[in-house]
Amino acid sequence: MTGTRVVTSSSNAIGVFDSGVGGLSVLRHIRHALPGERLIYVADSGHVPYGDKPAAYIEQRSIALARFLIGQGADAIVIACNTATAAAAAALRSRFDIPIVAMEPAVKPAVAATKSGVVGVLATVGTLESARFAALLERYAGEVEIVTQGCPGLVEQVERGDLTGAESRALIERYTAPLLARGADTLILGCTHYPFLAPLIADVAGANITLVDTGEAVARQLQRRIQSELPARKRTVHPEPVEGQNDSAQFFTSGDAAQASRIMSVLWGAEIVAQPLPQPFL
């Protein structure tokens, strides 16, 4: 039997962007929570990684991508990037009068999950050095020990589609070792790229380690804000398409479109054809 999907008939859409392809880990939660919404995803792979770039640079890129998404019909935006959240969420919310949903490392559920009282955070250097993250840690100071670890190179491995190779394993072994040595039994995946490495991280860290990410919570928050802040969408029923091969989801990149299409298709689990961003937004 052919399935059905309820899809918006208006031009409204949810815009999602990340420094690269990692935000697809959030997009799939959004698709599950809001199956009727038109989605527009931008991978800023021409500027990846964000984690080693100045905050002002990331803010500039985030504003440009938000403008592009709004121009495409987005009336809500998800910053599917912890580093961009830290650098640009406030700037986007001050400029654009639409719901802006952002990321933050899942410290609260990790604190609730730990039995050893030690939580490890795997994140980009940019996220760990941000004032926003410092405030988040301060909020939970004293409840548990939180040990942080910057992870240069992991984003690039996901961007290459290397989710299981020797180089990715070596990086994960290097970054998890000090956290495990401190007694961490819960690891926060503090970058949207990292959920794609979760099976490898679990294999390296061991079966008794709990991995926590925030994609599902972000999708729920987006759903609440759309329902409470935006006009009701008009919807029509369409045949169920294969994800990535339908007009209810569009994909753009500031990097190489052929490479992005290949990597996105692997991560999304269906064929994706990524379009290049227009020149003014590169």
Co-location of 249 and 275 in the same domain: yes
Q: Is there a catalytic annotation at residue 151?
A: no
Catalytic annotation, pick one of 7, 69, 74, 81: 81
Co-location of 132 and 187 in the same domain: yes
Range of the domain at 178: 107-212
Co-location of 46 and 142 in the same domain: no
Please tell me the pTM assigned to this model. Answer: 0.90
Catalytic annotation, pick one of 191, 200, 218, 277: 191
- pLDDT tens, residue order, the chain (282 aa): 333 333 333 568 999 999 999 999 999 999 999 998 999 999 999 999 999 999 999 999 999 999 999 999 999 999 999 999 999 999 999 999 999 999 988 999 999 999 999 999 999 999 999 999 999 989 987 889 999 999 999 999 999 999 999 999 999 999 999 999 999 999 999 999 999 999 999 999 998 999 999 999 999 999 999 999 998 775 544 344 444 444 589 999 999 999 999 999 999 999 999 999 999 999
- The answer to whether the peptide bond before residue 231 is cis (omega within 30 degrees of 0) is no
Element at 5 (helix H, strand E): strand 4-8
As for how many domains the chain has, the answer is 2
Spatial separation of the C-alpha atoms in residues 240 and 34, rounded to whole Å: 14
Domain edge (last residue) among 161, 179, 212 = 212
Find the CATH number of the domain harbouring 273: 3.40.50.1860
Residue 142: left if φ>0, alpha if ψ -120 to 50, beta else—which one? left
Co-location of 119 and 98 in the same domain: no
Co-location of 94 and 225 in the same domain: yes
